[in-house]
Amino acid sequence: MPVLLAALGALLMSLDSAINIVLPAMADAFSVEAAAVRWVIICYVLTYAVTAFAAGVLADRLGPGPVFTAGLWLSGATFLGYLAAPGYGTVLLLRAAQGFGGGLVYGTAPALVTLSLPPARHGRGLGSMSLGLGVGLGIGPLLGGVMLEHWGWASTFLFRAPLFLALAVLAQSQARRLRGAMPGGARRLPALAPAIADVARLPVLRAALLAFLSNYAQFAVWLLAPFFLVGTLGLSPTVGGLVFALTPLGNALVAPLGGWATDRVGPRAPLACGLALEVAGLLLIATLTGATPLALVALGLALVGLGVGLFQVPNLALLMASFPPAQQGVAGGLAFLSRTLGSALGVQVTAALFAARLAREGFLPAFHAAFVGAGAVCAVAAVLAILPGGRGRATGAAASGR
């Protein structure tokens, strides 16, 4: 049950991908520029970046179950707030509150998995969680496109409220079982100084850096691809959402494979292959124009998704295995902190680069420059992934760094 709850929580959290296909409509509704609407993403990801690590530390004291459940309740309540959002400022405040709840869920979900399974099955368990994450990322744009066409942008938030509240009720009903998902059932607060010292170890820092760089690069897709699909290619929101969904659906398809490969051969080979696929997809997208066949557009988006999916599970398994059982909350929080900081910085830098080129040269040159930059960042991560490095305290295939 803890693995199922973690996967369902990841699925519901990742339905926020619906926001990406809705960004152009939100920019129109609130009369803000395309570059400025990025704050809808930034307010959310920055808040859950800060919250995720703190949630992990708290989970090592209380167990991940209660913290995870609290995040579900808070998220469900926040979505109801969009019923009465009068303006853009209120939406940004709600996005920040949504990020706080999201950090509680994201920061504890990996610990729910690793503390309920033996080390030899961590890769497959984390792959199941990542499968939920990828499915949510994939169906989010589809749901977002349909709801936008029929009920407006606010519906892309409101439909999630009952889903979160229902999962919170389920998690609450499993409270006793979730309390057992902690090392020895003990409830103690790990010393903060040792936790910081563990974070500062080279293998941990490298795994966190790879997550940071990969997410930095892939968020060029999340920020700019909807504008290309709807604006340049002239697709409807529904069709655009369907094409855009190839990135997260590719992620979902290979996440279990990444977990299986990690348990069999270790994390290094699958994560390096994943980064190489991500680079190929980003650079292919950097060549797209309004005359490009839709199949080639779809290939670029799918390659990014396949690469991210193949990379994330081995990298997460490596990071989780670098910490002892008593610090699995810290490990999970650090994993999502690294991803989220990469996402936030990627959105900011990509949007700034895009806006600067847009003013001088127009949409397509700005679009191309943004994706060349993202591909270069991901290429750096791919090189770092294949360099020899130190090993953490991890054990087992997933932790060996093979």
Q: What whole-number distance in Å separates Cα of residue 11 and Cα of residue 8?
A: 5
Quote the percentage of the chain above a pLDDT of 70.
89
155-185: b (≥16 Cβ within 10 Å) or e: bbbbbbbebbbebbeebeebeeebeebbeee
Q: Is the pLDDT assigned to residue 155 strictly greater than 70? A: yes
**Range of lowest pLDDT (192-201, 236-245, 284-293, 326-335):** 192-201
Q: How confident is the model at residue 24 (pLDDT cuts 50, 70, 90)?
A: confident
pLDDT per residue over 50-63, tens digit each? Answer: 888 788 778 878 88
Indicate the SS3 state at residue 173. helix
Pick the residue with more confidence: 7 or 335? 7
- Domains of the chain plus CATH, in order, are 2-399 (1.20.1250.20)
**What's the average model confidence in pLDDT over 168-197?**
58
Q: How confident is the model at residue 124 (pLDDT cuts 50, 70, 90)?
A: confident
DSSP secondary structure code for residue 201 in this structure: S
Mark out the alpha helices in 88-121 (DSSP H runs): 88-106, 109-114
Pick the residue with more confidence: 231 or 8? 8
Q: What whole-number distance in Å separates Cα of residue 366 and Cα of residue 132?
A: 33
- Please, what is the angle between helix 202-227 and helix 268-285, to 10°? 30
**What's the average model confidence in pLDDT over 231-248?**
84
**Range of lowest pLDDT (2-6, 56-60, 352-356):** 56-60
The mean predicted confidence, pLDDT, of the chain is 81
Q: In the block, which residue shows the tokens 């590719």? A: 250
Q: How confident is the model at residue 164 (pLDDT cuts 50, 70, 90)?
A: very high
Compute the chain's Rg from CA coordinates: 20
pLDDT per residue over 78-113, tens digit each? Answer: 998 887 777 888 888 999 999 999 989 988 888 888
CA 344 to chain centre: 11
Cβ pair 137, 28 in contact under 8 A: no
**Range of lowest pLDDT (46-55, 107-116, 356-365, 386-395):** 386-395
Pick the residue with more confidence: 244 or 368? 368
Q: What is the pLDDT of residue 389?
A: 57
- Residue in 81, 82, 92, 90 with CA at minimum distance from that of residue 39: 92
**Range of lowest pLDDT (20-34, 56-70, 87-101, 291-305):** 20-34
Within 13 Å and on the Cβ side, how many CA atoms surround 181? 30
What is this structure's pTM? 0.72
